[in-house]
Chain A
Amino acid sequence: MQFFSREHLRSVFTKPTNYINTNRGEAYYKALYEKMRKRLDELKAMSPVREADIKFEKMLDMWELSRRDFLKWVSATTALLMLPPNFEPLVAEAAEVMNRVPVIWINIQDCDGNSEALLRSSAPTVDELILEYLSLEYHETLMAAAGDQAEEALEKAVHDFKGKYLLFVEGSIPVGMPEAFTIGRHPETGVERVQRLAKDAAAVIAVGACAAFGGIPAAYPNPTGAVGVMDVVKGKPIVNIPACPANPTNMVGVIMHYVLTGELPELDSLLRPKFAFGYRIHDNCERRAHFDAGEFVEEWGDEGAKNNFCLYKMGCKGPFTFNNCSIVRYNDGTNWPIGIGRGCIGCSEPDFWDKYATERPLAASNIRPPGLNGVESTVDQVGLGILTATVIGIGAHAVASLVAGKKSDENNQ
C-alpha cells in the first residue's frame, strides 16, 4: 500500500481513541447477529447448571413482574449494549439462558455495597431477578449455606465448572497485610483466595471501586496495603466495573455481553467496559448549562442550590469522571448524586478516595499533591509561597542594589 494513498491516510488519521462506534454498518450487525444466534443455540442445548431450577417465566410470575416489565428491561439493556433494536429477541433469550453460566461471587475487603445495590431496590427489578436466576454457585451474602457447608459448595463449584465460571470479586485485596482478611475454617488470605479462584475462572469481573482500584480500604495511609484485582491476578481476562457502588445496570450489561457473545466487552485503558465508561459525567450532566453559565452553588441550601445550579464549587468531580450514571442513573433510573444536589465524588476513577472526595474544587481542596508525599498543603499555598519567596528575593536584591548603587555613585564621584 502506498503511503499517500487515500485509504492509508484515512487509516492513519482516523485512529480510534476511546471512540464508541454506535453504528458499525449493516454487515457488522448481520455477522454479530449470526454469532450471537449460534452462541445462544449452544447455550440452549446445554442443560441448566442445576436441573431443578425454576423456568424464567415462572420466575417473573413469582416476582410479580409483568411481561411488559421484562420487555422494557430488554429494550433498555439492548440500548445499553449499543445494539440495534432487532437484537431485542436475542437479549430476551439471553436472559432466559442465564442459568447456563456458572458464577462464583466472592467478597474480600468491602462493605458488600455492590451486592446491596443490586438487591435493595424499592421494588423487585429485572436486574435483581437476573442475579437470582443466574447460576450463582457461591455468594457469601446470598447463599443459605454456612460454615463447612459453604466451603464445600465453593470447592464443588470450582471443581465442577473448571475454566467455565465467571469469578466476580467484590472488595479490595490486602497485599501489605495479608492476615487482615481471612475467612472460613480453613483460612486463606485474600491474595491466596483471589489467585486460587481466578486460576480456574473463564474471566474475572471486579465489581465496585474496591475490587477495581483498591477503593476506600486503600485510602491514605492504606494500612492493609489494599489493591485492586488487576494488581493481583495476572494472565486472566479482567473487567473492572468501578463506582461506589457499581451500577447494577453495568454489572448485568457485562454478564449479558458475555452470555450473548461468549466474549468480554470492549475495554478502556483502565479495563472498564467502554459501553458504560466511555462517557464523561460532565458532558451528559443535566446541570451542565449552569456550569457554562457560571452559575454555581456556593453553600449547601443557598439560592443556587434551590435553583439546581452547578455543583462544581461544592466539589463536584464530574469533569474528571467517566461513567454512565448521568445517563442511566441509579436504582432503576430513579436518581443519581448530581440529581439530588450532592455533586459527583468521582467514584469510578482510581484514587478518588484520596483525591476527589472533597467538598471543594481540586484547586481549593486540601489534597496531598502527588510527588510531594506528606506535604499537606494545597497548590495555591505552595504556589503562593514560591511567588512570595521570589518577591522577597527581588525585594532584598532591590534594596541591596539601592544601597550598593549609592556607594558606587560615591566612588565614581
Chain B
Amino acid sequence: MYEKVKRMTATMRIIHWVNVFSIITAVITGLYIANPFFQSFIAEPAAHKYVMAYNRLFHFFAALLLDVVSIVIFYLYFASRFEKVYKKVIPTKQNLKEFWEVFLNLITLNRRKNFDSTHLDSFNAVYFTVLHLLLLWMLFTGFYMYVQGLESGESAIGRWWPALLHLATDWVGWLLGGHAGVRWWHHFTMWLILSWVAFHIYYQVWRTIFWKEGDIGIVFGGYKFKKQPKEQV
C-alpha cells in the first residue's frame, strides 16, 4: 500500500515554476546581452526594432521576478505554515546526520537509505539555499551594472532608487575590480546556476526512478507516495 504525502502547497509550486521560467528567460536574454547571437536584419528603421532593448527588458523583468519571489521564499523559510525550511538548514546534529545519510544514499546508488523520505530532507534544503545564495550574488552584480545606466542619479521612481543601489552594490565593484570584473562574475555565475539546474533536475528524476515514491510529482501535483511498512497493511 502506498500512502499519499503532501509535499508542496499550490503557492510553493507556483513559486517554483515562476523561478524556472525566470531563469530560462534570464539565461537566454543574458547570453544575448553579453554577446548578441542573432542579427536582426529587418528592413525597418532602427527605432522600430528594439531587439536588444526587448532582450534587456525581459532580462530585467526575469531578474525582478526572481528577486521578488526570493524575498517571498526567504519569508517562507521562517514563517511558512506548511514547512519551515530554515529548520532543515541550521547545522544541528540531526540535520548533519540527515544530510550525510541522503548524500550517502546518492553516492551508494540507493543501497543505503536510513532516513525518512516523506518530508523535506536536509540535503535538498541546503541545495535549494545554495541557489538562493547564487541568485543573491546575481542580484548584487546585476544591480551594480544596472545602476551604471542611471548615472544621472534620476530614475522613474525617484532619486532614492539609484542612491540605494549605489549604497548596496558599490562594494561589488571595489571587490571585483570594476565593471569588467563584475560582468565576468555575473556571466560566470550563470554557468554555476546552469550546473545547479542540471544536477537538480537529474537528482529529482533519479529519486523518482530509484526510490519509487513518485518524487517528480511533487512539483506538478504537490504529492508524492510513500510505501507503508508491511506491518501496517
Contacts and interface: CB of A to CB of B under 8 A. Distances in A.
Interface in B41-56: 46-53, 55
Per DSSP, chain B at the interface is: helix
Contacts of B184: 362, 367, 369-370, 379
Interface stretch (A99-107, A231-239, A278-286): A278-286
A280 B149 contact: yes
A361 interface: yes
Contacts of B187: 362-363, 379-380, 383
Contacts of B154: 19
B42 to A, nearest CB: 9
Interface string B180-191: 110110011011
Contact of A14 (B52, B53, B159, B167): B159
B178 A363 contact: no
A20 interface: yes
A320 B46 contact: no
Given A19-B159, A369-B184, A387 B198 contact: yes
Nearest to B56: A292
Contacts of A66: none
B194 interface: yes
A338 to B, nearest CB: 15
A142 B3 CA distance: 91
B39 A289 contact: no
B152 A20 contact: yes
B123 to A, nearest CB: 14
Contacts of B194: 383, 387
A5 interface: no
Contact of B148 (A280, A312, A363, A384): A280
Contact of A283 (B106, B149, B199): B149
Contacts of A364: 34-35
Interface in B29-72: 31, 34-36, 38-40, 46-53, 55
A186 interface: no
A289 B46 contact: yes
Interface in B113-167: 148-149, 151-154, 158-160, 162-163, 166-167
B156 to A, nearest CB: 15
A382 interface: yes
A294 B179 CA distance: 22
Contacts of B21: none
B176 interface: yes
B202 A398 contact: yes
A380 B179 CA distance: 18
Interface string A265-284: 00001000000001110110
A294 B166 contact: no
A362 B160 contact: no
A362 B34 contact: yes
A320 B180 contact: yes
A165 interface: no
A12 B191 CA distance: 38
Contacts of A16: 153, 159, 163
Contacts of A382: 188, 191
Contacts of B195: 386-387, 389-390
A379 B194 CA distance: 14
A350 B173 CA distance: 12
B103 interface: no
B93 interface: no
Interface in A353-385: 355-356, 360-364, 367, 369-371, 379-380, 382-384
B111 interface: yes
A369 B151 contact: no
Interface string A171-215: 000000000000000000000000000000000000000000000
Given A356-B180, A386-B191, A363 B199 contact: no
Interface of B: 31, 34-36, 38-40, 46-53, 55, 106-107, 109-111, 148-149, 151-154, 158-160, 162-163, 166-167, 170, 176-181, 183-184, 187-188, 190-192, 194-195, 198-199, 202, 206, 209-210
30 contacts: A13-B158, A13-B159, A15-B167, A16-B159, A19-B152, A19-B154, A20-B152, A280-B149, A289-B46, A292-B46, A292-B50, A292-B52, A293-B51, A294-B49, A294-B51, A295-B46, A349-B178, A355-B180, A362-B34, A362-B187, A364-B34, A370-B177, A380-B187, A382-B188, A383-B188, A383-B194, A386-B192, A398-B202, A401-B110, A401-B209
Nearest 9 CB-CB pairings of A with B:
A19-B153, A383-B191, A294-B51, A363-B34, A13-B160, A320-B179, A355-B180, A404-B109, A292-B53
Given A295-B46, A295-B49, 6 more contacts: A18-B153, A294-B55, A320-B148, A361-B34, A404-B111, A405-B209
